[in-house]
Amino acid sequence: MRNISEKQRIVIKLGTSTLAHKTGKLNIRRMTNLVRVISDLHNSGREIIMVSSGAVGLGAGKLGLPEKPKDTKTKQAVAAIGQCELMHVYDDMFAKYSVTVAQILLTKAIINNPSHCENFRTTVESLVGMDVIPIVNENDTIAIDELELEIGENDSLSALVAELSGADLLLILSDIDALYDGDPRENPDAKPIPLVEKITPEIEAMAGGAGTSLGTGGMSTKINAAKIATNAGIDMIIMNGRDPEKLYDLFEDKEIGTLFKSQY
């Protein structure tokens, strides 16, 4: 038994590939369904905190760029455009279900500063206490490290947010169904792994490379997020965000995606 139905405070990480078409523009149908299901989970009494990718990808899409820009200066400008677009859409969509959202932008400098971390915790607790869904993102307009190094920071960021906010579960929605014992894009016989009790070198070796042309993360960044979360006593699940209705199955303890069990 997974006992996901018992989880109360959940951090949900949404990847660019879940939120946008390959063009970079918003996947309106999917986002509409995601917001509806997340609002329903929120209304059931669960405390939801979102970590959303997509600022750079959506900014590139709004400008009609064929792909994400390569240079940091342009990426930062595009992120500023995309961040505005992203929060406008979230605010509008959640408002239809009478759910209020708030934006929190983080950088590594904030996360690495104990007093700033405490301020973050206090803000999250206040927002959750007011029945608000905080939406957290890396501040791509000034976070040069992430933009230059392309390390898929929002996967790791979501794990750090889960740890700092005292979450029971980290849920990463991506364009993959689960962790596989091989690359399903190259090996049709690759099988999904429903449960990972411990992250071993063998598990790490199963991680693939980079993600899509619009996203920055691959399975390796998700394994890193799983390390952070499980070492902090938080279960983590990777699942496909293509069909938001699957979230209902997940919270009815059906076997969806890959569950990484906490280490204590």
Q: Flag whether 220 is marked binding.
A: yes
Judging by beta carbons within 10 Å of its beta carbon (0-12, 13-18, 19+), is residue 103 exposed, middle or buried?
Answer: middle
Q: Flag whether 39 is marked binding.
A: no
Give the integer Cα–Cα distance in Å for 246 and 243. Answer: 6
Q: Flag whether 221 is marked binding.
A: yes
Q: Flag whether 218 is marked binding.
A: yes
Q: Flag whether 231 is marked binding.
A: no
Q: Flag whether 216 is marked binding.
A: yes
Give the integer Cα–Cα distance in Å for 76 and 229. Answer: 28
Task: Give the start-end residues of each E strand in the chain.
Answer: 9-14, 47-52, 100-106, 132-138, 169-174, 195-196, 235-240, 258-260
Q: Flag whether 74 is marked binding.
A: no
Q: Would you mind telling me the total number of residues written for the chain in this entry?
A: 264
Q: Flag whether 53 is marked binding.
A: yes
DSSP assigned state of 180:
B
Q: For residue 138, what are its two tokens?
A: 């890396």
Q: Flag whether 175 is marked binding.
A: yes
Q: Flag whether 219 is marked binding.
A: yes
Q: Flag whether 13 is marked binding.
A: yes
What are the binding residues for ATP? Answer: 13, 174-175, 216-222
What are the binding residues? Answer: 13, 53, 140, 154, 174-175, 216-222
What are the binding residues for substrate? Answer: 53, 140, 154
